[in-house]
Structure 1
């Protein structure tokens, strides 16, 4: 079991941020977490990464139950790519050093990287067709190039779980499709980590994501196979408005019934 969350709630004062969340991910599955802004997606991710502790319920990640394991060590087995992380990195660092820092789950490098670390970093960059960026300063890269560097960083420790938190934010349509192609190819390699892709855009959901979790106002609206979740009926109820969902070329698209 990659992830096992049972009856989890998070409260701040008297307000629920997450309420009665139960969700499990088995090895070999790739999931989408779909929800609008304010739905609780970011809080859920922060909890999975051990930055927020639940007010009630049980959380087990990669077989490690919260409260019985050093969460700092757990984070080294989880790759995390997010816009928030991108903003914390140093623009004057070489791309390869940012990738290497993923091995230590740190912002910046505090020691000279070993030859082995550099070799591993180059392998991850090559996997993403991004080795040409290795010597460039991070701040000089385009948004799409930065996201590839962050994914390579997330893969540096060979994680069993890789979380992609709205990785297409700020990308133009061509850069977005290129990044989605990279994610799709990554999901198909033999030793791919379990992927959790977080988005509020239906058309970013790739066929490789077999399961979907739909969140609304801090609660789970529905979860299950992506084919069952992304239907006109379920999404109309989820968005609380009449929509039509169609599938073409293995991708989904919605239109509003005005």
Structure 2
């Protein structure tokens, strides 16, 4: 499989209003994409289409060789890992579970363990704990972890099923700068898992070196899509963010500055 996903001329409407319009996007194996844009730009809607929770109003979608309209989409979701700050809504279910139990539950795509776990699965969870440098947290219940530690545990959990695609939906929301950098550093471990990444964010500084491509959105349309260095340009970012900005690079990582006297439309 050389192509991870293809969205061709995709539009999606809700309550008669265009949320996405004319989306053409192809993601190939070996690429890691960032999706960047303001609130309401269409980022979440694209994720919901990729995950099969929304069908496009127009256009065609193929994800991991599953063509929408011809495939059983619950099978597709088993091949996709998903991590988001929205998963905090399950915290009450797992607050007293250890990190080992939480990570191994990813094998069954459940929060909580409701069936027998094979020794090989516990061994795999231990390997992920080591790779993600979580050894000091072994045996700790979830409610005692910091927000950054919780996010790292959930990312490790998402890899238990060896997904072909991992979606990280604003995984650094609510984290302090140290916790954010610890989470961003995990992209190298994810890449080692032979897993493609979609990383959704508002903040270009989170598009670390391992993110190779960017899909830049504004008002449900693509402003630009392609290699990171070609998309993260002053004019394109200014169009997407609706105010004059400039980008500078440091150690292969982009940073954004707003023009000193930029006029902000309310």
Is the Cα–Cα contact under 8 Å of residues 94 and 137 in structure 1 kept in the other structure?
yes
Do residues 135 (structure 1) and 139 (structure 2) align?
yes
For residue 46 of structure 1, what is the aligned residue in structure 2?
48
Equivalent-residue separation in structure 2 for 1:10 and 1:101 (angstroms): 34
For 2:236, which of 234, 237, 240 is the aligned residue?
234
Q: Secondary structure at the match of 1:2?
A: strand
| Aligned-pair Cα RMSD in Å | 1.5
For residue 208 of structure 2, what is the aligned residue in structure 1?
206
Is the Cα–Cα contact under 8 Å of residues 214 and 223 in structure 1 kept in the other structure?
yes
For 2:254, which of 235, 248, 252 is the aligned residue?
252
Is the Cα–Cα contact under 8 Å of residues 102 and 155 in structure 1 kept in the other structure?
yes
TM-score calculated relative to the size of structure 2: 0.91
Equivalent-residue separation in structure 2 for 1:180 and 1:152 (angstroms): 13
1:66-110, Cα deviation, whole Å (9 max, x unpaired): 122221121111011101123224212222222122222223222
TM-score calculated relative to the size of structure 1: 0.94
Q: Secondary structure at the match of 2:19?
A: strand
For residue 116 of structure 2, what is the aligned residue in structure 1?
112
Q: Which moved more, 1:5-14 or 1:94-103?
A: 94-103
Q: Secondary structure at the match of 2:78?
A: helix
Segments of 5+ residues of structure 2 without an aligned counterpart are: 262-266
Do residues 178 (structure 1) and 182 (structure 2) align?
yes
Do residues 20 (structure 1) and 19 (structure 2) align?
no
Q: Which moved more, 1:229-238 or 1:56-65?
A: 229-238
Equivalent-residue separation in structure 2 for 1:23 and 1:114 (angstroms): 40
Q: CA deviation at 1:224?
A: 0.9
Equivalent-residue separation in structure 1 for 2:22 and 2:138 (angstroms): 44
Segments of 5+ residues of structure 1 without an aligned counterpart are: none
For residue 225 of structure 2, what is the aligned residue in structure 1?
223
Equivalent-residue separation in structure 1 for 2:49 and 2:101 (angstroms): 27
Q: Which moved more, 1:153-162 or 1:245-254?
A: 245-254
Taking the TM superposition and a 5 Å limit, the aligned residue runs for 1:151-166 are 151-166=155-170
For residue 80 of structure 1, what is the aligned residue in structure 2?
82
Specify whether residues 83 and 56 from structure 1 end up closer, same or farther in structure 2 by C-alpha distance, changes over 3 A only: same
Is the Cα–Cα contact under 8 Å of residues 37 and 240 in structure 2 kept in the other structure?
no
Equivalent-residue separation in structure 1 for 2:71 and 2:200 (angstroms): 26
1:153-185, Cα deviation, whole Å (9 max, x unpaired): 1111111111111111111011111211122x2
Is the Cα–Cα contact under 8 Å of residues 186 and 192 in structure 1 kept in the other structure?
no
Q: CA deviation at 1:206?
A: 0.6
Is the Cα–Cα contact under 8 Å of residues 81 and 163 in structure 2 kept in the other structure?
yes
Equivalent-residue separation in structure 2 for 1:188 and 1:100 (angstroms): 20
Is the Cα–Cα contact under 8 Å of residues 221 and 238 in structure 1 kept in the other structure?
yes
